[in-house]
């Protein structure tokens, strides 16, 4: 990578606070990079503060560039979600949330569909809260 003086960094580093310690979560991949190509990481604290969606949860058709959670997701929930990182059990719920939010933002969406998208958004948010409250721990720890 030319802009790193030809030296390719091998240790992931948080884009914001520069830490290399603890769990770092991949949140964006440079366009054209392969699956193991150049990626951007954040620590859980910065992930939550910047409202970043982990790369693993990006919509299947729009993966890569940095994505942020919509304003409807409260900061406290983002902090709990950041601790769960890119756990695959969150992926379908986050994708539902992002799809519903995109429908709501689209001015061409007719009112009945907006109503349905609003209901989908609230249901996805509720599921995220349940998972963040320990739904993942319970599922994992169940005998």
What are the angstrom distances between the C-alpha of 142 and each of 20, 47, 62, 127? 33, 29, 34, 19
| Alpha helices, DSSP H, located in the chain | 44-49, 75-84, 91-105, 111-130, 136-141
Closer Cβ to Zn ion, 48 or 121, answer by number = 48
Quick check: helix, strand or coil at residue 85? coil
Could you tell me the two tokens for 124? 């996805």
Q: Closer to Zn ion at the Cβ: 46 or 131?
A: 46
Of 17-36, binders to Zn ion (CB under 5 A) are 17
* Candidate segments 28-36, 40-48, 62-70, 108-116, binder of Zn ion by CB under 5 A: 40-48
Query: CA–CA separation, 69 vs 53, rounded Å?
Result: 6
Contact range with Zn ion by CB under 5 A, out of 37-45, 80-88, 116-124, 128-136:
37-45
Task: Give the nearest distance from C-beta 18 to Zn ion in angstroms.
Answer: 7
Joined together, the tokens standing for residue 60 give 């299947």
Interface with Zn ion, residue 16, by CB under 5 A: yes
For residues 67 and 100, give the distance between their C-alpha atoms in angstroms, rounded to a whole number.
15
The number of residues that bind Zn ion (CB under 5 A) is: 5
Q: Does 43 bind Zn ion (CB under 5 A)?
A: yes
CB of 86 to Zn ion, least distance (A): 16
Whole-angstrom CA distances from 55 to 27, 112, 131, 132 are 4, 31, 18, 18
Closest to Zn ion by CB, 17 vs 33, is 17
Does 50 help bind Zn ion (rule: CB under 5 A)? no
Residue ranges in contact with Zn ion by CB under 5 A: 14, 16-17, 43, 46
């Amino acid at each position: 990578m030319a802009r790193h003086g030809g030296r390719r960094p091998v240790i992931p580093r948080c884009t914001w606070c520069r830490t290399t310690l603890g769990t770092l979560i991949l949140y964006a991949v440079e366009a054209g990079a392969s699956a193991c190509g150049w990626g951007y990481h954040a620590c859980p604290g910065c992930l939550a503060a910047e409202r970043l969606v982990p790369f693993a949860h990006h919509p299947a058709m729009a993966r890569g560039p940095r994505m942020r959670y919509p304003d409807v997701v409260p900061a406290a929930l983002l902090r709990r979600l950041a601790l769960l990182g890119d756990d695959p059990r969150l992926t379908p719920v986050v994708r539902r949330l992002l799809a519903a939010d995109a429908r709501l933002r689209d001015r061409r969406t007719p009112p009945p569909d907006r109503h349905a998208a609003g209901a989908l958004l609230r249901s996805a948010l509720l599921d995220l809260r349940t998972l963040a409250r320990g739904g993942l721990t319970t599922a994992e720890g169940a005998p």
